[in-house]
């Protein structure tokens, strides 16, 4: 976002966000306590909460007797978590997931199907729209009760325009996801990079409730990280998956060689286990696949962890150690970068 100076509308929006985030993190609270916690005037909190109550986004919740002044009660306000539902679409290289959840992040249902990047993007988006409509119909959720649609894709996105610029391993060209889905679903659509979207989820529903600074790691077919500083997601993705960790290593999808991803992404892990699994080194895993290592695939990685196979554990420890080292480096570098960016922002742009 471009900083455009102090603007009353921006201040209102940011105060509103702060109130909603506080209620989401700490639960129901009185207007007076909200004002104290956020350093806002009681009048500001009253004004904002009045509008949100009228819109049905907030609700008044019970009363709490103030200890010292008997007889005087304070009304608590909270987020109305049943206000609307949210439709989430997660497009990943192998599978696409559609989920409907309430504002607490509680899932009403989820469905998934194969991602077909070989088809024309429009045709695949048409399938996504049709699946979404069918899913809403099945779960009995009407369009009017849906707040909006959030779409996550790998790779860079133009969030303002709702365009996926280059969804790695899915599409090589820019795809106007937002425009297409907005038209067919008749709902507001936000398109976001997958790692940022997952980090946002962690911020709202996970560890971000009590931690202001986080380094979020995604470990799967791709490896990436997002940095959260002072409760805000740092605008650039931490490309941890493309740190070079091996001289002249295996070729990576980014065009370089020996990136972390070529060693620790799930398909690379599967390959490594296939190469090292023998009757002697990993007896239990070997027995499970009847000596056919071809059956060890990235998609069944979760099953292997439940097996008490020493050799497999050792190999995984090695892989996790490799990720941990990259994470420490990412932490060191990104905290410095974020720090210098904050300094620049407050001193020159203001």
Closest distance to Zn ion from the beta carbon of 315 (Å): 22
Q: Does residue 225 interact with Zn ion by CB under 5 A?
A: no
Residue whose C-alpha is closest to residue 259's, from 189, 164, 168, 336? 168
| Six token digits for residue 321 | 């150690």
Which CB sits closer to Zn ion, 83 or 168? Answer: 168
Nearest approach, Cβ of residue 192 and Zn ion (Å):
22
Shortest distance (Å) from residue 169 CB to Zn ion: 12
Q: Is position 263 an interface residue for Zn ion (rule: CB under 5 A)? A: no
Number of neighbours of residue 320 by Cβ within 10 angstroms? 12
Residue with tokens 């962690």: 202
Determine phi and psi for 246, rounding to 5 degrees: -145, 130
Of 48, 58, 252, 338, the one binding Zn ion by CB under 5 A: 252
| Least distance between Zn ion and beta carbon 258 (Å) | 8
Smallest gap from Cβ 254 to Zn ion, in A, equals: 3
Residue spans of alpha helices (H) in the chain: 8-26, 31-38, 42-55, 121-138, 177-185, 194-205, 261-264, 266-276, 283-288, 301-305, 310-344
Which phi-psi region, left, alpha or beta, contains residue 82 (left: φ > 0; alpha: ψ -120 to 50)? alpha
**Toward Zn ion, which CB reaches closer, 218 or 242?**
242
Nearer Cβ to Zn ion (237/259): 259
Residue 107 to residue 68: CA distance in whole angstroms:
42
CB of 237 to Zn ion, least distance (A): 13
Selected binder of Zn ion within 242, 277, 309, 330 (CB under 5 A): 242
Task: From residue 36, give the alpha-carbon distance in Å to each of 8, 26, 40, 55, 78.
Answer: 21, 14, 7, 24, 16
Torsion angle of C-alpha atoms 18, 91, 225, 344, degrees rounded to 10: -50
Size of the site for Zn ion (CB under 5 A): 4
254 binds Zn ion, rule: CB under 5 A:
yes
The pair of structure tokens assigned to 226 is 């997002």
Q: Which stretch binds Zn ion (CB under 5 A): 111-119, 127-135, 204-212, 256-264?
A: 256-264
Minimum CB–partner distance for residue 316 and Zn ion (Å): 22
Strand partners, 216: 226
Residue 157 to residue 167: CA distance in whole angstroms: 8
Is 307 an interacting residue with respect to Zn ion (CB under 5 A)?
no
Residue whose CB is less far from Zn ion, 176 or 242: 242
Contact segment (CB under 5 A) with Zn ion among 159-167, 179-187, 246-254, 318-326 equals 246-254
Nearer to Zn ion, 128 or 252 (CB): 252
Contact between 259 and Zn ion by CB under 5 A: the answer reads yes
DSSP SS3 for 219: strand
Minimum CB separation of residue 175 from Zn ion in Å reads 22
Q: Are 75 and 30 in contact (CB under 8 A)?
A: yes
Closer CB to Zn ion, 256 or 299, in the complex = 256
In terms of CB distance, is 102 or 322 closer to Zn ion? 322
- Looking at the Cβ atoms of 84 and 257, the one nearer to Zn ion is 257
CB of 131 to Zn ion, least distance (A): 32
Q: Which is nearer to Zn ion, 204 or 244 (CB)?
A: 244
Residues that bind Zn ion (CB under 5 A): 242, 252, 254, 259
């Amino acid at each position: 976002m471009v900083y455009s100076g102090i603007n009353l509308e921006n201040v209102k929006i940011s105060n509103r966000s702060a109130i909603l985030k506080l209620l989401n993190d700490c639960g129901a609270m009185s207007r007076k306590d909200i004002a104290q916690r956020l350093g806002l005037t009681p009048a500001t909190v009253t004004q904002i909460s009045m509008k949100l109550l009228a819109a049905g986004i907030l609700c008044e919740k019970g009363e709490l007797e103030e200890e010292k002044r008997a007889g005087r009660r304070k009304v608590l306000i909270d987020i109305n978590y049943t206000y609307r539902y949210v439709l989430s679409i997660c497009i990943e290289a192998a599978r696409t997931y559609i989920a409907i959840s309430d504002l607490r992040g509680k899932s009403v249902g989820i469905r998934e199907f194969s991602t077909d990047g070989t088809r024309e993007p429009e045709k695949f988006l048409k399938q996504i729209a049709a699946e979404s409509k069918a899913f809403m119909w099945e779960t009995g959720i009407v369009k009017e009760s849906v707040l909006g649609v959030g779409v996550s894709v790998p790779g860079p996105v133009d969030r303002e325009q709702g365009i996926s610029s280059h969804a790695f391993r899915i599409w090589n060209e820019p795809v106007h996801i937002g425009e297409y889905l907005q038209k067919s679903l008749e709902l507001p659509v936000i398109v976001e990079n997958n790692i940022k979207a997952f980090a946002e989820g962690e911020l709202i529903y996970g560890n971000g409730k009590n931690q202001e600074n986080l380094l979020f790691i995604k470990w799967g077919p791709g490896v990436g990280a997002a940095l959260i500083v002072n409760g805000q997601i740092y605008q650039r993705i931490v490309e941890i998956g493309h740190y070079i960790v091996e001289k002249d290593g295996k070729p990576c999808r980014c065009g370089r060689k020996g990136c972390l991803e070529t060693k620790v992404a799930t398909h690379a892990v599967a390959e490594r286990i296939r190469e090292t699994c023998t009757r002697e080194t990993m007896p239990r895993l070997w027995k499970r696949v009847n000596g056919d290592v071809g059956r060890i695939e990235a998609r069944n990685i979760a099953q292997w962890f439940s097996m008490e196979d020493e050799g497999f554990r050792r190999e995984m420890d090695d892989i996790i150690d490799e990720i941990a080292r990259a994470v420490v480096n990412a932490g060191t570098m990104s905290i410095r970068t974020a720090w210098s960016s904050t300094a620049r922002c407050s001193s020159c742009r203001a």
